[in-house]
Amino acid sequence: MKKSHRPHQGLIYLIIAVSAGFLYWYIQFAFSLYHLEQMQWTAKAIFLFKLPIELASSVYCISFLLLGITYLFLRQKPTAKKEHDYKPPVGIIYLCYNDLDQEALKSLMTLSYDGNIFLIIHDDSIDPSVNAETDRIAQRLSLINESINIRVLRRKHKTGGKAGAMNYVLEKSAHLYDYFILCDNDSTILQPDIIERSLPYFENPDLAIVQYRSLGIIRKDYCKANFILRKSIDAFHANMSVYSRFGWQPFIGHNAILRTSAVREVGGFTPGFFSDDLDLTIRLNLKGYRVKYGHDLHMGETHPPNYTAFRKRSYKWSYGCMQTLKAHSWNIIRSKLSLAEKCFFFLFTGHYVMSIFLFLYMITNFIVAPFFIEVNPFGVGESIVAGSMLIFIIFFPFLSYFIRLGQLNRAFKPIALGALVYGTTDFDSIRGTIDCMLGKKRKWIPTNLAGNGKIKNKIWLEPLFGLILLVVPMVTQISLLFLPSTYLFAGKFLFVPALQFAYNDKEKIKAPVVRKGVKWQEYSCFFSCFSFYQRAQDIVRTCT
């Protein structure tokens, strides 16, 4: 049996070389613009605070640009389907907690495989009526496909979050199967033969996980915003493809098939970890196991049902990434992992830490610095070009996905709305990162629950913050407003009230029926956002 290939080192060497050259030039350029010996101490402090953040941000931007370019030219061979006499038993672990998705669960019954399949439904609800309904659904499903053995499990002590539930399931059922597909409540089968197509990967003895490609599925109850945002799930394929070939391939917690013996060898999942997937990836890596991306093995999932649920997920992601950094950074540095794997690990998990510094940079650059230092010494034309280039580079990996599909004309709406939704979670992401840094204990909760769609914190604080970021430059240094990136970094917060209303599957603004040739639908979500923003402003004015 051959071992899995290590990631190619070429891209990380290119990122390092280009970054080193750019940073050298930028430092020379910055010191030629600002003469420290002629500056007051406050101006010096501002300059010396901003410069390292600008340098670190530049490295991220360079990696984004090169990642997108790499994806455009990346060759991906289809997985060869092989027939084997031995058909190992395979488990399907479906996790739910008051959020069982009947459509997704029913899709699991379409699996076609000659070996034994065990569907383990783990119901973590404490509501007897929910438990009874889960049992009834399981009973009905058993009549659809009698070749799939269905079992419902419930644990008595509901501790450790998702990781605790997984450990319980493995304790009770791991002896039944050699491999298992891990499903969240919305995981949907799109390829009935996916098991048969997955197993050839495991001919490599050091392979522990095959991460499937996730695709956003269309649901009839989607609002217009979610109808567009589902494309963000599809576009993550660009990042995963490049990470798998040239960097560190993470397991993302669901829609994947895992080798049971490897997971049990490293002790299963770590209870209490919000990023139990990243934690498991690292522990497997340190034991010599690898994760592979199955680019042509597809499973479906839904986008969070509303803006509140999405922000809760952002908090959980940031808290979990910080947990992973605290637990494993030193082990990663000392490990035998390649340079590419180490660097891409820190790029992947460290961007939430970087967001804290970028937030402080926004405050410094737009509120404090204009009173002490000339922030943007360039003219209108240079500012427009530089700011536009920055926006282009940030979203280039996303854009490259549509370019490669030949659907560049369809890229505007998911990129624009995705920038607003994903970009306005700074407050939650920073809070999650800092809470973890301070060691605050948080209870794991599922984020696919719809809830009431309301943000508990006072939402008017965020648009007020965005307004301050724009008004101060308007009064002090109007040249800052020549930069298009100013409106991305500062103006995005103004849309928080609109997003809370427009991005909610419970609202009556539903997704459009898909028809070819209907162009106005591409922009209808933004008209909705604008109208809801006006509505939100009216509410704020009424309250004040």
Confidence band of 529 (pLDDT split at 50, 70, 90)? very low
- Spacing of C-alpha 305 from chain mean position: 15
d(C-alpha 154, C-alpha 121), whole Å = 9
- pLDDT on residue 456: 56
Secondary structure (3-state) at 488: helix
Residue 340 has pLDDT above 50, yes or no: yes
Q: Provide mean pLDDT across the span 235-247.
A: 94
Other beta carbons less than 10 A from residue 362's beta carbon? 18
- pLDDT on residue 23: 96
Residue 139 has pLDDT above 60, yes or no: yes
The answer to whether the CB of 261 falls within 8 A of the CB of 25 is: no
- pLDDT on residue 451: 55
DSSP bridge partners of 118: 91, 149
Q: Provide mean pLDDT across the span 450-469.
A: 74
Most confident of 82-91, 299-308, 503-512: 299-308
d(C-alpha 432, C-alpha 9), whole Å = 33
Least confident of 35-49, 275-289, 300-314, 522-536: 522-536
Residues of the chain with pLDDT > 90, as a percent, come to 65
The answer to whether the CB of 91 falls within 8 A of the CB of 118 is: yes
- pLDDT on residue 443: 79
Q: Provide mean pLDDT across the span 105-117.
A: 94
Secondary structure (3-state) at 94: strand
Most confident of 69-83, 296-310, 453-467: 296-310
Residue 233 has pLDDT above 80, yes or no: yes
- pLDDT on residue 178: 96
Confidence band of 4 (pLDDT split at 50, 70, 90)? low
- pLDDT on residue 296: 93
Query: Which two three-digit tokens encode residue 183?
Result: 């499903």
Confidence band of 289 (pLDDT split at 50, 70, 90)? very high
- pLDDT on residue 497: 87
Residue 31 has pLDDT above 70, yes or no: yes
- pLDDT on residue 5: 67
- pLDDT on residue 449: 60
Rounded alpha-carbon distances, angstroms, from residue 279 to 163, 178, 183, 272, 354: 10, 22, 18, 11, 20
- pLDDT on residue 37: 74
Question: Is the pTM above the cut of 0.75?
Answer: yes
Residue 477 has pLDDT above 50, yes or no: yes
Q: Strand (E) positions, 217-338?
A: 256-259, 290-301
Residue 2 has pLDDT above 80, yes or no: no
d(C-alpha 104, C-alpha 301), whole Å = 8
Place of tokens 């996303």: 398
What's the full length of the chain, in residues? 544
Residues of the chain with pLDDT > 70, as a percent, come to 89
Q: Provide mean pLDDT across the span 251-256.
A: 95
Confidence band of 324 (pLDDT split at 50, 70, 90)? very high
Residue 536 has pLDDT above 50, yes or no: no
Q: Output the average pLDDT for the chain.
A: 87
